Structure 1
Amino acid sequence: MRNMKVFFFFLLFFSLCVEFSRGQKEITEVNVGVVTDVGTSYSDVAMLCINMSLADFYSSRPQFQTRLVVNIGDSRNDVLGAAAAALELIKIKKVKAILGPWTSMQAHFLIEIGQKSQVPIVSYSATSPFLTSLRSPYFFRATYEDSSQVNAIKAIIKLFGWREVVPVYIDNTFGEGIMPRLTDALQEINVRIPYRSVIALNATDHVISMELLKMMTNPTRVFIVHMYSTLASRFFIKAKEIGLMKPGYV
Structure 2
Amino acid sequence: LDLMENEEVHAILGPKWSSQAKFVIDLGEKAQVPIISFSATSPSLSPTQSHYFVRTAYDDSSQVGALAAVVQAYGWREITLVYEDTEYGNGLVPYLVDAFQEVDARISYRSVIPLFTENIDIVKELNNLLTRQTRVFLVHMTAGIGSRFFALARDAGMMSEEFAWIVTDGLSSLLDPFISKSLDSMQGVLGVRPHVPLSESRRNFEERWRKLYAERNPHDEIADLSLFGLWAYDTVTALALAERWHGILQ
TM-score band, normalised by shorter chain: 0.5 to 0.7
Q: Separation in 2 of the partners of 1:134 and 1:242?
A: 44
Is 2:139 the partner of 1:239? no
How many pairs were matched up? 164
When the two structures are superposed, what TM-score results if normalisation uses the length of structure 1?
A: 0.64
Give the corresponding residue for 1:218: 132
CA contact (8 A) 2:47 2:55 kept: no
Partner of 2:141: 227
- Cα deviation 1:191-224 (Å, max 9, x = unaligned): 1211100000011000000000100110100011
Instruction: Establish whether residue 132 from structure 1 lines up as the match of residue 46 from structure 2.
Output: yes
* Residue type of the alignment partner of 1:188: E
| Selected match of 1:166 from 80, 101, 121 | 80
Tell me which residue corresponds to 1:60: none
What letter corresponds to residue 35 of structure 2 in structure 1?
A: I
| Shift of residue 89, structure 1, vs aligned partner | 2.4
- Structure 1 stretches of 4+ with a deviation exceeding 2 A read none
Matched, 1:98 2:12: yes
Q: Give the partner amino acid of 1:236.
A: F
- CA distance in 1 between counterparts of 2:158 and 2:48 reads 38
SS at 1:130 equivalent: coil
1:151 partnered with 2:43:
no
Shift of 1:134: 6.8
Query: In angstroms, what is the RMSD of aligned CA positions?
Result: 1.2
Instruction: Identify the residue that residue 123 of structure 2 maps to in structure 1.
Output: 209
Name the CA distance, whole Å, in 1 between partners of 2:60 and 2:35: 19
Deviations 1:114-157 (A, max 9, x none): 11111111111000000017700111111011111111100100
Q: What stretches of structure 2 of length at least 5 have no aligned partner?
A: 165-250
Q: Tell me, what secondary structure is at the counterpart of 1:166?
A: strand
TM-score (norm 2): 0.64
Residues 21-72 of structure 1, C-alpha deviation per residue, up to 9 Å, x if partnerless? xxxxxxxxxxxxxxxxxxxxxxxxxxxxxxxxxxxxxxxxxxxxxxxxxxxx
Aligned to 2:222: none
Quote the residue 1:18 is aligned against. none
Higher gyration radius (CA) = 1
2: CA distance, partners of 1:104 / 1:169 = 14
- In structure 2, what is the Cα distance between the partners aligned to 1:138 and 1:165? 37
In the alignment, the residues of structure 1 paired with residue 47 and residue 127 of structure 2 have an alpha-carbon distance, to the nearest angstrom, of 36
- Write the letter of the residue equivalent to 1:108: K
- Per the alignment, residue 83 of structure 1 pairs with none
Question: 1-side partners of 2:79 and 2:47: how far apart?
Answer: 27
Query: Is the alpha carbon distance of 1:219 and 1:133 closer, same or farther for their aligned partners in structure 2, counting shifts above 3 Å?
Result: farther
Paired with 1:244 and 1:89, the residues of 2 have a C-alpha distance of: 48
1:172 Cα offset (Å) = 1.1
- Distance in 1 separating the partners of 2:47 and 2:112: 23
- Distance (Å, rounded) in 2 between the aligned partners of 1:244 and 1:88: 49
Tell me which residue corresponds to 2:244.
Answer: none
Query: Structure 1 residues 130-139 or 106-115, which shifts more?
Result: 130-139
Give, in whole Å, the separation in 1 of the partners of 2:6 and 2:130.
53
Residue 139 of structure 2 aligns to a residue whose secondary structure is strand
Residue 19 of structure 1 corresponds to none
**Sequence identity, in percent?**
48
CA distance in 1, matches of 2:157, 2:113: 19
Aligned-pair distance for 1:228? Answer: 1.1
Paired residue type of 2:148: R
